[in-house]
Amino acid sequence: MTSLPETAVLVLEDGTRHVGRAYGARGTTLGEVVFSTGMSGYQETITDPSYAGQIVLQTAPHIGNTGMNEEDPESRRIWVAGYIVRDPSRVVSNWRATTSLDETLVQDGIVGISGIDTRSITRHIRSAGSMRGGIFSGADAALDAEEQVRIVREAPEMAGRNLSAEVSVDVATVTTAVGDKVGNLAVLDLGVKQATIDNLAARGFEVFVLPQDVTIDEIRAIDPVAVFYSNGPGDPAASDRHVDLLRSVLDDGLPFFGICFGNQLLGRALGLGTYKLPFGHRGINQPVLDKSTGRVEITAHNHGFAVDAPLDGTFQSPNGYGEVEVSHVGLNDNVVEGLRALDIPAFSVQYHPEAAAGPHDANYLFDRFRDLVVASKKDSK
Q: Show which residues are catalytic.
A: 260, 352, 354
24 CB contacts (<8 Å, ≥6 apart)? 83, 102, 105, 106, 110, 111, 112
Q: Residue 157 in contact with residue 237, Cβ under 8 Å?
A: no
Q: 3-state class of 222 per DSSP?
A: coil
Q: For residues 315 and 19, give the distance between their C-alpha atoms in angstroms, rounded to a whole number.
A: 51
Give the length of the chain: 381
Which amino acid is present at 351?
A: Y
Q: Which of 224, 231, 222 lies closest to 189 in space, CA to CA?
A: 231
- What is the bridge-based pairing of β-strands 224-229 and 183-188? parallel
Alpha helices, H only, the chain: 42-46, 101-107, 118-128, 145-153, 164-167, 194-202, 216-221, 240-251, 261-270, 364-379
Across 78-138, where does the E strand assignment appear?
Answer: 82-84, 87-88, 111-114, 131-137
Alpha carbon distance 346, 369 (integer Å): 9
Interior angle at CA 185, CA 180 and CA 186, nearest 5: 165
The Cα 236–Cα 305 span in angstroms is 8
